[in-house]
Structure 1
């Protein structure tokens, strides 16, 4: 169990959650505010997590996971997000031909079960489907498989990350993710899931011949080769092998922690931010939970407008807002089905938004929004070295300057670039300064960073890809990171700190 719960309950109700200044004093909680919180209506996600859950398929039996060489069963969805009342199509291939079902699961906490099964389809007849040739100009692989099943999302489904699981009659399984939005209610926090980055890394099919991502294709030696990568990738194809995007686990750790701790959250995707379906100003804060590397101009402008309006942003990963992308429709006109990122000049598809290269080459570097920017791939996981321990961010975590929290700096890292653009703020704090050696052997320093906007919002960046692992994952979970994250999100939402430690049972904290 989250061991910080008792500390919150015993002594920290004297402060108030209304103040957001970046000082070291805990805010004061008025009696009328405390009474309102005590009588509040439970948010939909809290009610949803009272339902009986059951573990969904992975990774309990990886022996029956589909793979890209045999493609026993695979599928994709017609949309990355839908609202209750809308429909979503699933396109499924089965090899060899045979019967199969589709089950839909919502991922959350559910008392530690981790998911809840919402619906199972009738049994269908499945047949093999072709792997299209890559577009000779862009490398795009876009399937045109027929619709296998159309689901109308029930009106009472709770916003969240869902998985459609495809199961063949002989037990092979694969899946594809999608998000159910809540367009009718403004939750305190909206978690924005980085589908553009998920697809950028997707090299379906991983067959040694055909698959392409924005990073690699397959060379003549059947090995990954960046020289034959795609310039554009399509959502009209499965995710590789069993269908779980390789970066999704980072988001999943954040989702479980947020729901375990009873935060009022809803969910959306990169494309919802891009299109305007998600209005950030309807929420107290946006949480970018995982690896959120690929951003369109519309996404960045929406985030900047949100900051200007006083909305808070929390980036719980690293290497965010790094590549500028172009979002295109499918060949048949369906919107938001292709992500383009040439990465080098010239960009054959350049439009009025500019070339699809690094943001720091196109205009203001990501540091202008985040407060930090990408500075390297971490060679081996390193401790996060605490700085500004007297800041309210670290309150109750029991840390001192120079304390080392094992394994938190990993994957990729960000740091403050003294020569880069800085956010418009009079109050900022560097909350860690962690030396690390890059994969190439150079030396860098990771920084977690927090600043207050002139409009009173907060913008926080962890500066590491391993932060959410320290929130939730067995063997990595750490009380100090949990407490600091709760301090941050409580400030963002105005939630009393006495209400923040309400987790279900979980693994013991590490470190």
Structure 2
């Protein structure tokens, strides 16, 4: 991206890959389409303020709501309401602290939702806070591109009741004057379950450009210069903090991938437990309690303890399911905050330190040695997924035949098998899709979907595309063949009849 001039209002479209049709979907049940499309169907960054957008040439204003009282999305320039939680995952009976800024200071409330099918609603409201007094917190601190709000005062403590179900939750923050933002968190427990869903909070934070204000914000991809221009990876942060809100509406990029899987899995009654990838890193996940670990979407950043935990799970007989592409690409480190809270700082040096590689494949441990395939590259436009080995049990009862094309199922990013890279030890290995496409330079590439059985008996599945999770339960993207194939896989892992 270099030093090309980019207005701050356009930054989200570039930094958050708005052109990727499977990178959106923050929560259709919590927001209206007016935050995303103008009258011609053009995508609008979700943090655009209508009043300001009208003054910015070339920026489409969101469609106005007919109801003056409808909530408006907070942005990072004015910070009408923004917040973060003291930890990503919490157990029933524990407390979760929220640090929230409100500008101008006024009362606000917090509605807590749990993600699930809920008869098609996508979530259920679990509790609502009392009216709370909001204050304008101090400006975020920045040191060498690392932005932190660790100095914000405590705004609200949620004591999680012991009877709450484990799951993915969202706290919806709403001011009296109608601005709204979100804070995702996870409720986990140690009870055995068939499947453990691991929410990719490490990757979510890597992409977090908060605050997207044209001055301060930085992610592992972007930062701003003194003139408000958005810079690329060479000038980006090498360390980012979990002690800050997520940019824009307060929801991570690609959060929809996880929520798509959750709604589908709970609709069909799978026994699912929940944790974050930082739980995997910290050793809080005991794989022996589960038949399979599910990684639902865009899980790009992995620490050494995360990978070792996944390898131990596979080698002890616990299956692994990777429903996206570009998994385990960058190696990262997690460190405590300045106050000693574990795993609040995420570091990935990428290519900023000469001689210090950060790609797993450049460190002598290609991701294919666990996944069975590995990252190929971006897919500029959605392409069909071409079925291969249609007589395999994964495709059973899907109606798919050899060579059938599943429209739009290769999108965003794609993986493939690299013949010169070692495969993991296996007793059975098969490629279940081989899908040609052209990259942005017009070069012919292909995507592949992989499944192998480890000597322990564990199955390891990698979809090799961003489009798999959205095909399960995202309006406009569902595919019955992918739904059935996923059920065939999970039923076998869970030993269902």
Tell me, yes or no, if structure 1 residue 437 matches structure 2 residue 435.
no
> 3-state SS of the aligned residue for 1:300?
helix
Which residue of structure 1 aligns with residue 203 of structure 2?
197
2:254 to 224, 228, 247: 247
Measured after TM superposition, the shift of residue 125 of structure 1 is 1.2
Which residue of structure 1 aligns with residue 31 of structure 2?
58
2:300 to 293, 302, 307: 293
Which residue of structure 2 aligns with residue 132 of structure 1?
140
Measured after TM superposition, the shift of residue 117 of structure 1 is 1.1
Measured after TM superposition, the shift of residue 102 of structure 1 is 1.2
CA RMSD of aligned residues (A): 1.6
> 3-state SS of the aligned residue for 1:93?
strand
Rounded to whole Å, the distance in 1 between the matches of 2:85 and 2:407 is: 39
Question: What pairs with 1:77-96 in structure 2 (closer than 5 Å)?
Answer: 77-96=85-104
Count residues in correspondence: 435
Rounded to whole Å, the distance in 1 between the matches of 2:201 and 2:166 is: 16
Which residue of structure 2 aligns with residue 395 of structure 1?
396
Tell me, yes or no, if structure 1 residue 110 matches structure 2 residue 118.
yes
Rounded to whole Å, the distance in 2 between the matches of 1:444 and 1:469 is: 22
Uncovered stretches (5+) of structure 2, i.e. residues with no partner: 1-26, 36-70
Which residue of structure 2 aligns with residue 98 of structure 1?
106
Q: Which region of structure 1 is more displaced relative to structure 2, 227-236 or 195-204?
A: 227-236
Contact 2:146 2:241 in 1 (8 A): no
> 3-state SS of the aligned residue for 2:370?
helix
Contact 1:387 1:402 in 2 (8 A): yes
> 3-state SS of the aligned residue for 2:198?
strand
Tell me, yes or no, if structure 1 residue 447 matches structure 2 residue 453.
no
Measured after TM superposition, the shift of residue 289 of structure 1 is 0.2
**What do the CA deviations read for 1:397-451 (whole angstroms, capped 9, x no partner)?**
1111110000010001000000012010131110000011123432211000000
Tell me, yes or no, if structure 1 residue 273 matches structure 2 residue 255.
no
Rounded to whole Å, the distance in 2 between the matches of 1:401 and 1:142 is: 53
Which residue of structure 1 aligns with residue 194 of structure 2?
188
Measured after TM superposition, the shift of residue 347 of structure 1 is 7.6
Q: Which region of structure 1 is more displaced relative to structure 2, 120-129 or 72-81?
A: 120-129
> 3-state SS of the aligned residue for 1:432?
strand
Tell me, yes or no, if structure 1 residue 365 matches structure 2 residue 373.
no
Question: What pairs with 1:221-240 in structure 2 (closer than 5 Å)?
Answer: 221-226=227-232, 227-240=234-247
Rounded to whole Å, the distance in 2 between the matches of 1:111 and 1:484 is: 23
Measured after TM superposition, the shift of residue 363 of structure 1 is 2.2
> 3-state SS of the aligned residue for 1:344?
coil
Rounded to whole Å, the distance in 1 between the matches of 2:193 and 2:404 is: 35
Rounded to whole Å, the distance in 2 between the matches of 1:211 and 1:398 is: 48
Contact 2:147 2:244 in 1 (8 A): no
Measured after TM superposition, the shift of residue 56 of structure 1 is 5.3
Q: Which region of structure 1 is more displaced relative to structure 2, 433-442 or 251-260?
A: 433-442
Per the alignment, do residues 324 and 55 of structure 1 end up closer, same or farther by CA in structure 2, a change over 3 Å counting?
closer
Q: Displaced runs of 4+ in structure 1, greater than 6 A?
A: none
**What do the CA deviations read for 1:238-286 (whole angstroms, capped 9, x no partner)?**
0001101111011111111111111000110011100111112210000
Contact 1:344 1:357 in 2 (8 A): yes
Considering Cα pairs closer than 8 Å and 6+ residues apart, tell me whether 1 or 2 has the greater RCO. Answer: 1
Measured after TM superposition, the shift of residue 216 of structure 1 is 0.4
Q: Which region of structure 1 is more displaced relative to structure 2, 222-231 or 238-247?
A: 222-231
Measured after TM superposition, the shift of residue 140 of structure 1 is 3.8
1:217 to 223, 238, 246: 223
More strand by share: 2
Contact 1:386 1:401 in 2 (8 A): yes
Uncovered stretches (5+) of structure 1, i.e. residues with no partner: 1-53, 349-354, 497-511
> 3-state SS of the aligned residue for 1:177?
strand
Rounded to whole Å, the distance in 2 between the matches of 1:469 and 1:217 is: 30
Per the alignment, do residues 347 and 297 of structure 1 end up closer, same or farther by CA in structure 2, a change over 3 Å counting?
farther
Measured after TM superposition, the shift of residue 476 of structure 1 is 1.2
TM-score for both structures, normalised by structure 1: 0.83
Rounded to whole Å, the distance in 1 between the matches of 2:30 and 2:472 is: 22
Contact 1:56 1:105 in 2 (8 A): no
Contact 2:140 2:147 in 1 (8 A): no
Tell me, yes or no, if structure 1 residue 379 matches structure 2 residue 386.
no
